[in-house]
A and B are shown apart, each in its own frame.
Chain A
Amino acid sequence: MAGMFIDVKVDAKIASDPEAAKKLVEVCPVSIFAQENGGGLRIVAENLDECVLCDLCIEAVAKGGVEVIRLYDR
């Protein structure tokens, strides 16, 4: 589920990779990502609008693995 202002799309391969998921959880300053029991990635919908557009998640994984969408740009 998207936020009101921000949505985040994660490539399915990244989302299912525990190492990539761990990295995303670590880098996000506003806890948009969570990891289920050391496994796959979960998006914390209620934190999406807190995104500070720092791009750390984009840089943490392979190019194109994470996309941060500004819904107000559409």
Chain B
Amino acid sequence: MRFYEHESKALFARQGLPLGKSGLARSGDEARRIAAEIGAPVVLKSQVLSGGRMKAGAVKFADTPDAAAKAFDAILPIVVNGQRAESVLVEEKSPIAQEYYVGVTWDGRRKRPVLIFSDMGGIDIEEVAEQHPDHVSKTHVSTLLPFTPRLAKEAVGATGVTGPELNRLTPIAAALVEVFLRYDLTLAEINPLARLDDGRFVVLDGHVDMEAEAREIHRKLLEEIGIRPEETRQARPPTDFEIRGAQVDAADHRGVAGNVVEFDGNLGLVIGAGGGSLTLFDAVRQQGGRPANYCEIGGNPSVQKACELTKLVLSKPGVEKIAVMMNVVSNTRVDIVARGVVKGCVESGRDPAETIAIFRIPGSWEDEGFKILKKYGVEYCDRSVSMYEAAGKAVAKLSAGGTT
């Protein structure tokens, strides 16, 4: 779940990271007022959940409050990677001597957070790592043991930074690690972190991604920052389809039937089970299919919930058939999901036998589930058919109709 820049900075402020004076403007008048309060030249930045703002012209500088109001009006309509901002961050312009990069993210291979530091900030860190590897350090940290500033010092020092800069950068890097660990983030990034002409350090730009599953734990924090529960905060704004998917999940506490992501294919997916969603989505694509959506079901959703998710997927224009597939389930009942998807087809005015390309959910109560599917003429299979093969069967049904 991605935070806007101003929200990331609000989180950084809680950990004492150094920030410039700023305010969030929703109108030209507000931009003028904030610039006047700052009393110095300002930079105005479009608040979108995407990079590429500078290239798109959505970052502008203003020397006076009136110029700030004009810059606001120029920035707001600019679409950055398909996103239009609702607000603009007005921040004091800083005289920069040098830019650095500090980031903490999750190293999936090592299964640990990793602190990344570079004394070449302001540009893409991947590019720096490729072209100037000696200017990038990677330091893994523990999620179990307390984090010590010594590790931060090693990370900064590994790029050749010494003296007062090393001493000033160390607590900043350490604070960023603390933010990452405390708030269950998957990314905490400052780029650039600027050393000003007077020697002070200031966070110029920052980004934060929070683990979606941690939303409930940090509900109070999110409320305080102003992130509403219905905001999915993915890399792009949610589509209507995705918003309705979140509503389906939220409407019933039983199980999970949500995390819906929209794609432009013709095969609707009702998939899940302990990583099964990702595996099955990939399997459909490897088999040459075009998924209409991604979703996750599990934890024994109610019949109603599975039904509503099915109806939602079938309501998407272009969806010809759905594939209902999971890994072997133990805590989700096959018969309950079978009832839900069959009911969803019927309530959508569709014949389940024609609509469900394949039902591949083996496991708990499968015999009961298979009776239901047999009654409605739906093709189903048990665990002797792999997920990959099941995906192939679904795709083949669409291919047979000449639609893939």
Bound together, the chains give a CA A72 to CA B336 distance in angstroms of: 13
A72 contact set on B, CB distance < 8 A = 371-372, 375-376
Number of A interface residues at 8 Å Cβ cutoff, please give it. Answer: 10
Q: Mark B359-379, 1 if CB is under 8 A from A, else 0.
A: 000000000100110011000
Do residues B339 and A5 form an inter-chain contact, with CB atoms below 8 A? Answer: yes
**Taking the complex as formed, is B123 at the interface, i.e. its CB lies under 8 A from any CB of chain A?**
no
**Taking the complex as formed, is B47 at the interface, i.e. its CB lies under 8 A from any CB of chain A?**
no
**Taking the complex as formed, is A62 at the interface, i.e. its CB lies under 8 A from any CB of chain B?**
no
For window 36-67 of A, CB contacts with B under 8 Å fall at 49-50, 52-53
For window 151-196 of B, CB contacts with A under 8 Å fall at none
For window 12-56 of A, CB contacts with B under 8 Å fall at 30, 49-50, 52-53
B interface residues (Cβ-Cβ under 8 A, vs A): 302-304, 333, 335-336, 339, 342-343, 346, 368, 371-372, 375-376
A interface residues (Cβ-Cβ under 8 A, vs B): 4-5, 30, 49-50, 52-53, 70, 72-73
Closest residue to B373 on the A side, CB-wise? A72
Bound together, the chains give a CA A72 to CA B342 distance in angstroms of: 12
The smallest C-beta distance from B99 to any residue of chain A, in angstroms, reads 58
B343 contact set on A, CB distance < 8 A = 4-5, 49
The majority secondary structure among interface residues of chain B is helix
Bound together, the chains give a CA A6 to CA B97 distance in angstroms of: 73
Do residues B336 and A52 form an inter-chain contact, with CB atoms below 8 A? Answer: yes
The smallest C-beta distance from B229 to any residue of chain A, in angstroms, reads 26
Interface centre among A50, A53, A73 (most CB of B within 10 A): A50
Bound together, the chains give a CA A52 to CA B255 distance in angstroms of: 14
A/B interface sample: 7 pairs, CB < 8 A: A4-B339, A5-B343, A49-B339, A50-B302, A53-B335, A72-B372, A72-B375
The smallest C-beta distance from A68 to any residue of chain B, in angstroms, reads 12
Do residues B368 and A53 form an inter-chain contact, with CB atoms below 8 A? Answer: yes
The smallest C-beta distance from A47 to any residue of chain B, in angstroms, reads 9
